[in-house]
Structure 1
Amino acid sequence: MADRTGSARRPARDRATPPATGPLGAVAARIEAATPAGRDRGADALRALAIAGVVTGHWLVTAWTPGTGGTVRVSSPLAYMPWLTPVSWVLQTLAVFFFVGGYAAERSLRSAAGYGVWARARMRRLLRPVGPPVLVWAGAAAGLALGGMPVGSVRSLVQPTAGPLWFLAVFAALTAATPLLRAAPLAVAGSAAAVVLTTDVIRFGPGGPSWPGWVNVVAGWLVPYALGVAWARGALASRRAAAGLLAAGAAGTAALVVWAGYPASMVGVTGAKVSNLGPPTLAVVCFGIAQTGLALLVREPLARLARRPRVWAAVALVNLSAMTVFLWHQTVLAAAALAALRFGGVPGLVETPTGPAWLAHRLAWLPLLAVLLTLVALVTRAGGRFRGGRTAEG
């Protein structure tokens, strides 16, 4: 079987796959056998890590503080424990997702029968998973409001679950615009960074309005996306280019935080005057550039690791359910918090995140949240099956 880039499936004798042992080994062997030889396993592994980072990060920085009469408000542990800020440097991986997204879109467009067919297929895969979580939370919000929960508490529970929709809207828009980026993707990335710089100067200047910053919602994420298109078209192939992106992005981020007053956290913090993500700032764009450089440097080691059948099975399955996982992960957390409200608060779920005890409690909940999210992904994919290793390039 050939993948969408025209690569033939690798013969079984060339895979050097160890014999499968047990049910998990058998599943891994089937996925390995169904994977085309041309799969870029390094890119797929990067995308899986990006999804894992976003999910884990959101689960660690989203908290609810209980109030009187069963009320609740959303809060952030970073507001109480700023020493956790370096965690945001590790787990804020949205730029990597956009970077691999641009790479994947360009790779698939190259072999598509036509833009219309390609765009419809991409939009269908991106937007199809949206309906169920939207319906679930529309019904839940209505039910909670009718049940007497204050509007503010309903908003605090629903708002984090709706957050992923902005990401999907921007990602879909950039995907649709991929053909416009192909001629000069590096120039597009540089121009988008200049737009972010300009809007930041305007909105952070004396008496500057805040609304121009929302231009950065598109321009900020266009930078890594365009870099991904450039990567797919053969640019950024050298280690020198990757190291340059890492060094320049890291230096720019450090300079903006230390000397320009940008927040050190790469995620929003409840109550903070400025968020690096809402909307994206020049600091988070520089940080994303550093992440793309690092991603290019680790791609080959990740590709070698992903040649192990069990590792590849995990990577492939995460990629296949990427949109489902992204759209549902905050719903799983919010549903757990809603259940905890029946008890007036549960450590790590509905509890003011004031110290290390909260962090320990939340970490203890992560395995259960992961199991629940896996069950959601399995249910939403019921009746489906692995098809030809269609992951980051598909």
Structure 2
Amino acid sequence: MNRDRAVDALRAYAIGGVVLGHWLVTGLVLAGDGGLHQASPLATLPGLAPVTWVLQTLGLFFFAAGFGSARSLAGHRGGWGGWLARRTRRLLLPAVALLGTGAAVLLAATVAGAPDDTLAVGLRLAVSPLWFLAPLLLLVASSGPLRAAVRRWGVTRCALPAVAVVAVSDLVVRLLPDGVTVPPVSVVAAWSVPYLLGLAYADGRLGGRRTAALLAAGGGVTLAVLLAAGYPVSAVGVPGAGVSNLNPPSLLAVALAVTQVGVGLLARPGWERLLARPLPARVVGRLNSDAVRIYLWHQPVLVGVTALTARGGLPLPGLHTAPDGPGWLLARCCWLPLLAAVLATVVRTGRRSGSTDRPGGSRRPGGGALAGRSAECVPAPTQVYDHRRSDRADFQEVIAVRDSDPPSRGRADGQPR
């Protein structure tokens, strides 16, 4: 199938960034009673904050979501209601499957006598990333009007009202006293900006290097101005900090998303050369096709490995110890291969269990009710990228990822958000 190399590469980078970022900032400390408590190395290692600029990739996922929705609409032959129903189903079914599996595991862990703290942490980390469903469904449902608006007025004019909403939200959050929360009104507005960029890119409006350079430079300058104005350096929330850039999303989060999109599109020639090689193409194709399972299961894998190894009662450095220094970070990096191997096994198992028989007895991994139609995301004929295995689920093109808790508070009072 024909694919857009830049979008596939950015989506693969985004899923790798969110997994690595979560595994590096999510510390699970073994307490004396055998329970696990959540902590973050960002609180004790503030020098790591700039690293979050490359690992907080939520904007890239919403950009890919807008691109996927536009291409899906262009290739859809039925009515709007049928398209939206299918798109919604592909968003909700994996979430329902996760909730069902999580409930069964939680029940089994309760019967086995797992500490309450461990159960609470595991439930929160497994379920809270599903926060993205609400804003994403709203944006997907609005794809038709948004696409028409971008075609008529341009992406800049369409994004300005959303940026204004985020700016007002930032002002309100900073003026309110500590402990006072506000509705996360800026969530949809903030992530609509990269979504609009994805819609515009699908229509060929961001294809030039000059436009990509303007996005990268404009976003970068805005980042510098916002940091000078006192915005937090970390792109994710830090426990104990007064304000988070993600909870609710701030202007810095929007500027970071625009910068990442611009830099990613500038690197398009590099993506094309890289993905012309068989091995990188297979890796990117696999990450794209399994993005939904990777996203849903990377945090449960972290909790599961940590909880199972904690049953021995011996705290293992980097896995059960407090993230209080560079030594913890180095030790956590040593655990990453094990976590990746377990995650790969879980994803492979889910792929096989979700396979459906194709005519003639062949199997389509990862298909089932979530299998996508390749025609829905075929790019321009000049953008040829055939990795065969990355056309199985449209959900990869509308998935969005962020840090642990849902954006329900304006203050950073817990795990990074």
TM-score interval (norm. to shorter):
0.7 to 0.9
Does the 8 Å contact 2:36/2:307 carry over to 1?
A: no
Q: How does 1:306-325 map to 2 (within 5 A)?
A: 306-325=275-294
State how far apart, in whole Å, the 1-side matches of 2:242 and 2:92 are. 33
Note the aligned Cα RMSD (angstroms). 2.2
Match of 2:214 in 1: 244
Cα distance in 2 for partners of 1:301, 1:253 equals 25
Match of 2:145? 180
1:272 is displaced (CA, Å) by 2.2
Deviations 1:288-310 (A, max 9, x none): 11111111111232123112222
The letter for the 2-side match of 1:321 is D
TM-score by length of 1: 0.84
In the other structure, the counterpart of 2:332 is 362
Determine the structure 1 residue equivalent to 2:265.
296
Question: Structure 2 length as normaliser, TM-score?
Answer: 0.80
Instruction: Report percent identity of matched pairs.
Output: 42
1:202–1:97 distance in 2 versus 1, CA, 3 Å: same
- Segments of structure 2 that go 5 or more residues without pairing to the other structure are 357-363, 366-373, 375-387, 399-417
Q: Which residue number in structure 1 is paired with residue 120 of structure 2? A: 155
- The 3-state SS of whatever aligns with 1:291 is helix
How many pairs are equivalent? 357
> In the alignment, what sits opposite 1:29?
none
Correspondent of 2:4 among 30, 33, 40: 40
Higher mean C-alpha displacement, 197-206 vs 94-103: 197-206
Do the aligned partners of 1:193 and 1:220 also contact (CA within 8 Å) in 2? yes
Structure 1 equivalent of residue 295 of structure 2: 326
Cα distance 1:57–1:393, how it changes in 2: closer, same or farther (>3 A)?
closer
Contact 1:54 1:92 in 2 (8 A): yes
Kindly report which structure 2 residues correspond to 1:19-38, keeping only aligned pairs within 5 A, or say none: 36=1, 38=2
What is the deviation of 1:250?
1.4
The secondary structure found in structure 2 opposite 1:105 is helix
Alpha-carbon distance in structure 2 between the residues aligned to 1:365 and 1:207: 40
2:169 to 199, 209, 222: 199
Decide whether aligned partners of structure 1 residues 243 and 81 sit closer, same or farther in structure 2, where only a CA change above 3 A counts.
same
Separation in 2, partners of 1:356, 1:292: 31
Contact residue 102 and residue 227 of structure 1 kept, 8 A: yes
Q: Are residues 210 and 270 of structure 1, via their aligned partners in 2, closer, same or farther at CA, if it must alter by over 3 Å?
A: same
The reply on whether 1:116 has 2:68 as its aligned counterpart is: no
- Taking structure 1 as reference, are residues 329 and 97 closer, same or farther at Cα in structure 2, changes over 3 Å only? same
Where is the helix percentage greater, Structure 1 or Structure 2?
A: 1
**DSSP-derived class of the 1:64 partner:** strand
> Alignment partner of 2:37: what SS?
strand
Residue 90 (structure 2) pairs with residue 125 (structure 1): yes
1:240 to 1:334, Cα distance in 2 relative to 1, 3 A = same
Match of 1:9 in 2: none
* Residue type at the aligned position of 1:254: A
**Equivalent position SS for 2:184:** helix
Partner of 1:390: 391
User: Taking CA–CA contacts closer than 8 Å with sequence separation of 6 or more, which of the two structures ends up with the larger relative contact order?
Assistant: 2
On the 8 A contact 2:35/2:116 being kept in 1, the answer is: no
TM-aligned CA deviation for residue 362 of structure 1? 0.9
Q: Among 263, 267, 277, which residue is 2:246 paired with?
A: 277
CA-CA distance at 1:143 after TM superposition: 4.5
Query: For residue 390 of structure 1, what is the amino acid of its counterpart?
Result: D
Per-residue CA deviation, residues 310-347 of structure 1 (Å, 9 max, x unaligned), is 21111111111111111111011011111122133222
Q: Distance in 2 between matches of 1:208 and 1:159?
A: 24
Residue 138 of structure 1 and its aligned partner are, at CA, apart by: 2.4
Equivalent residue for 1:267? 236
TM superposition shift of 1:43: 1.4
Cα distance in 1 between the residues matched to 2:179 and 2:219: 27
8 A contact 1:107–1:393 mirrored in 2: no
In 2 relative to 1, CA 304–171 (structure 1 residues): closer, same or farther, beyond 3 Å? Answer: farther
8 A Cα contact 1:43 1:299, kept in partner: no
